[in-house]
Amino acid sequence: MDVGNLSTVTQFVLMGLSDLPRVRLPLFVAFAAIYHITLVGNGAILLALGTERKLHTPMYYLLANLSLLDIFCPSATVPKMLHDLLTGEHSISFLGCAVQLYFLVALAGSEVFLLAVMAYDRYVAICFPLRYSLIMTRARCVQLVCGTWAAGFLNSLLHTVSTFRLSFCKSNLVNQYYCDIPQIVALSCSSTYVAEMLILLTGGVFGTSAFLSTLASYVSIISTVLRIPSAAGKRKAFSTCASHLLVVFLFYGTTIFTYMRRASSQDSLSRDRLVSMLYGVITPMLNPLIYSLRNTEVKGALRKVLCGGACAQQAGR
């Protein structure tokens, strides 16, 4: 659909899955199942953390916020994708696209900052265990979490305003199954210099700072753990941060692979879409599995929630 003869674009067409008409229904079933597992898994984590009093600590408070983000982030894109797969319609209004992009960038940005805070929490717990309760107080923890959400949403506001102030008068075909900044900026018929510089500056300052903060925390953690003389002590220390380290690797691995490939290569769009789905749909589903499988306290709380008191008594024998 070319709208070159129109003065402005009033809607966009999401082309991400439009070239797969023969597998629309199988894809719908697959992504509906994945989305359902994501909601149930993260919802169970929230319920377990909320009902188990001994898990009311800074580490699990941060994990609860990660589960919230893992519910909200796919909810910004997956329901629209499921609707498109079911109906065969791929259009989205100008305002709808702006709202989707705003929440997607805000939630993804909040997760970047939250992962840095979670890494800092593990750094304090392992490197300064005697001062942990003094440093990571409830008030400090709430302040850090509120800061991550505020930073993510304010950063997204800047990007959304700068992106949708551009003029769109050429094509309205978005080469993705959701509205994202690179694809929308590419459709502009006006200068994109300011929007692109804003992406580079904020990405460089906020994104790099969060990544380096996370990296520095884990370098310090590994250095401290390696100095522990006993093998049992090393295993215990690593076990407290192994789940989070795996989540960080999964998040940054898919994020960097998604956006660096777009910037540096001209590979097939289908492969880009596959990686985007891994980043936006699969990762939020895996996070609760990672924490529930590797964390004995979370496993115990989930067992109580899912199985009830009888199952918990049986496990304690």
Query: How far apart (Å, rounded) are the C-alpha atoms in residues 79 and 177?
Result: 11
* Pairwise pLDDT comparison (74 vs 298), residue with the higher score: 74
- Tell me what pLDDT residue 311 has: 53
Which tokens in the block code for residue 197? 């510089």
Note the pTM of the prediction, 2 decimals: 0.86
Cβ-based neighbour number of residue 205 at 10 Å: 11
Residue 264: pLDDT band by 50, 70, 90 thresholds?
A: very low
Residue 101: pLDDT band by 50, 70, 90 thresholds?
A: very high
Cα–Cα nearest to 180, from 199, 201, 167: 199
- Tell me what pLDDT residue 226 has: 86
| CA–centroid distance for 69 within its chain | 7
Residue 314: pLDDT band by 50, 70, 90 thresholds?
A: low
Query: How far apart (Å, rounded) are the C-alpha atoms in residues 233 and 227?
Result: 10
Query: How far apart (Å, rounded) are the C-alpha atoms in residues 135 and 149?
Result: 21
Average pLDDT over residues 92-116: 94
- Backbone φ, ψ for residue 262 (5° rounding): -65, -35
Query: How far apart (Å, rounded) are the C-alpha atoms in residues 230 and 223?
Result: 14
Query: How far apart (Å, rounded) are the C-alpha atoms in residues 294 and 229?
Result: 24
| Model confidence at 2: pLDDT above 50 | no
The average confidence (pLDDT) of the chain is 83
Query: How far apart (Å, rounded) are the C-alpha atoms in residues 160 and 262?
Result: 20
